Amino acid sequence: MIKIRNDNIEDAEKIYQLIKQAFESAEHSDGNEHILAAELRNGSSLIPQLSLVAELNNQIVGCVMFSKIHINGYEEAALAPLAVLPEYQFQGIGSALVAQGHKIAKQLGYHYSIVLGDPQYYSRFGYVSASVYNIKAPFKVDDKYFMALKLNEDKSNNIEGIVAYPKEFGI
């Protein structure tokens, strides 16, 4: 049975290797996702409550991280990276990590989660093109890959603007 928990400092090297291995054969990858994760861990933008691992038989088989971003002065969350060891993919582990992350993000008061990724995958969680919410990327990207999920349906929380990523993202 999969157990999802917060990661800790002892997990850092395992997570680094897991992400590196998971993205080695990924269709859309810059090959630096593991480096980004290490930089996020060493920086101040990672949201500790939203840095999660999935364990199976006491082995870390997946992880997800959410970091602080800003949209027009509001602190929101960016999902990156999400990784599952290749031999454990297509078993619902990534979905479980994302669902748990969204649940915690909502509890923490975040209004939106932003992701740059595969629309076919992330749309299953309710992500839509961020432009639907008038949220824009600070870089040139096809609209369908830059997505947002509104975590709180309160109409007073309609936030618009250009996403400001932390320095760890190199944007």
Amino acid at 149: L
51, pLDDT greater than 70: yes
- Which has the higher per-residue pLDDT, 34 or 64? 64
Q: What is the pTM of this model?
A: 0.94
pLDDT tens by residue, 76-122: 999 999 999 999 999 999 999 999 999 999 999 999 999 999 999 99
Percent with pLDDT over 90 in the chain: 84
Given a contact cutoff of 8 angstroms between Cβ atoms, the answer to whether 148 and 130 are in contact is yes
Q: Say what the alpha-carbon torsion angle 123, 8, 25, 36 is, to the nearest 10 degrees.
A: 80
Rounded to an integer, what distance in angstroms lies between the CA atom of residue 47 and that of residue 57?
26
| Residue 53 pLDDT | 98
Architecture of domain 3-169 in CATH?
A: 3-Layer(aba) Sandwich (3.40)
pLDDT tens by residue, 146-161: 999 999 877 656 889 9
- Hey, what are 99's tokens? 């669902």
Average pLDDT score over residue span 31-54? 91
Provide CB contacts within 8 A for 54, sequence distance 6+.
Answer: 2, 3, 4, 60, 61, 62, 63, 84, 93, 96, 97
Q: Where are the domains of the chain?
A: 3-169
Buried b (16+ CB within 10 A) or exposed e, 35-50: ebbbbbbeeebbbeeb
At residue 168, the 3 state secondary structure works out as helix
